[in-house]
Structure 1
Amino acid sequence: MPLSEQEQRLLDEMERHLMHNDADVVSAARDGRTLSYRNIVYGTILVLVGLGGLVIGVSTQLIVVGVIGFLAMLGGVILAVTPTRGPAAAAPTDAKPKAAPRSSTSFMDRMNDRWDRRQEGH
């Protein structure tokens, strides 16, 4: 369901306000550090293995196995949530990045145009 004209204006105003007042929040993801899906998968597997070790350690009353399982779980969580450097940050610093051409339309205007094109196609 498309937004009314008043709702669209309100959304545009909120977007401008966010960009103006919370620029640090908007640009926080642009520092070249992102979560790696590989690390998330490996961290999840390590958490599950650690959980298994913890359960085995508690059920057999082998404290050492339980502690190792807990440490494996902790390491898995740390591995999964630690951001890694993205490919843009790995580029040499002496190379000048090419500036993307600035569009005169806002993000919301482009999204609205795409939505309108999709609706006309049906």
Structure 2
Amino acid sequence: MPLSEQEQRLLDEMERHLMRNDADVVSAPTDGRTLSYRNIVYGTILVLVGLGALIVGVSTQLIVVGVIGFVVMLGGVILAVTPTRGIPRGPVDIAPSAAKSRPASSFMDRMNDRWDRRREGQ
């Protein structure tokens, strides 16, 4: 069921408010550190190779091979989850001129006013 015009406007306003005031929720980490897909793939491959070595070490009772397999698995997990230095991204700024031309009332104040007007109309 499609949204009415009023509901669509309200949704758009909520999205703009979220993008403007809560950019840290919407954007990636601002310190420039992000997960690399290449590292995730390499880490996954290392985990699989280490798992194979661990299974071979257990099945042949060669403890050294099993320990090496475990260390390789651990290294793969660390490689996969370690963020890499990327292009630093700042907070998302949507329509800065529109934000300055709006009244000083907060989003929640406007929502409360709308709620009160709706309740008075009933």
> Normalization by structure 1: what TM-score?
0.58
Instruction: Name whichever of 37-46 and 15-24 sits farther off.
Output: 15-24
Unaligned stretches of 5+ residues in structure 2: 100-122
Larger relative CO (CA 8 A, sep 6+): 1 or 2?
2
Say whether residues 1:74 and 2:74 are aligned partners: yes
Indicate the percent of aligned positions where both proteins have the same amino acid: 84
Say whether residues 1:55 and 2:55 are aligned partners: yes
Q: Which has the larger radius of gyration?
A: 2
Separation in structure 1 between the aligned mates of residue 11 and residue 44 of structure 2, nearest angstrom:
38
Q: Alpha-carbon deviation of 1:38?
A: 1.7
Unaligned stretches of 5+ residues in structure 1: 90-99, 107-122
The Cα offsets for residues 56-111 of structure 1, whole Å up to 9 and x where unpaired, read as 1111122221121111111101101111011x35xxxxxxxxxx9x56579xxxxx
Runs of 4+ in 1 over 3 A off after TM superposition: 1-4, 16-24, 102-106
> Normalization by structure 2: what TM-score?
0.58
Q: Which residue of 2 aligns with 1:38?
A: 38
* RMSD, aligned CA: 3.3
